[in-house]
Structure 1
């Protein structure tokens, strides 16, 4: 059982997934900080100092904090856009790497040029042109 567990736990895919989760968590913190500490204060200034998070509606003794929901939606779109941009950049970099370099035309010396002309002339004589 121990050997089977080692094979499972040390497979390349499992390790890749673990690294992706850790990097994803760190990226999530960076983007959350970007949204909370930079973007939303600027949005607050642009809309006249109104904080979306403070929006609420009170029904009897129950408070509906719909502003927090709206803030979560805004956070989602900003995070989704950030991830989209990172993936787009990586995809463009990969495409550039995968595109083979254009082959330079072969430069012929004088002897090679004469041989090519002779070959073309012989080819024309055989076909009767």
Structure 2
């Protein structure tokens, strides 16, 4: 018996990398990283100053002390402003991705599906009418031969 040769580690890795979904994922990560810089700039340049009109100039300046005074090494400082800033950046990113990418793609796919369904519906109508024409031809031929009645449908 001859054993089938297993692909080498390098060949398997090359096959993995050349799959389309891996390349698409890599492109998405690069675009996402670039987009993150834009969102962070919007949060720091627009959102933080607007919030700063009501308090500190930077969201990251919002802190609380959990234990003792937050001076030097004493006390435990909670940096909830940083968390708020990150949450705003996430919400802005999610909104932009949804409204500029997901929603238009869903509408496009729905239109494509509707077109395909309409095309298939028209095709079924043509097939049904062809069947009806063939039945009429059969009935005419039977009648011309002087058949003993109508054929079963």
TM-score w.r.t. length of structure 2: 0.54
**Which residue of the partner structure matches residue 55 of structure 1?**
62
Aligned residues: 104
SS in structure 1 opposite 2:115? coil
**Which residue of the partner structure matches residue 73 of structure 1?**
87
Structure of larger gyration radius: 2
Consecutive unaligned residues in structure 1, runs of 5 or more = 104-129
1:12-91 matches, within 5 Å, as 12-45=20-53, 47=54, 51-58=58-65, 59-60=68-69, 61-62=74-75, 63-85=77-99, 86-91=101-106
Question: Is the Cα contact below 8 Å between 2:62 and 2:79 reproduced in 1?
Answer: yes
TM-score w.r.t. length of structure 1: 0.61
Q: Which runs of 4+ in 1 moved over 4 A?
A: none
Report the aligned-residue RMSD. 2.8
Structure 2: distance between partners of 1:83 and 1:19? 15
Give 1:97 shift: 4.3
Higher relative contact order by CA 8 Å / sep ≥ 6: 1 or 2? Answer: 1
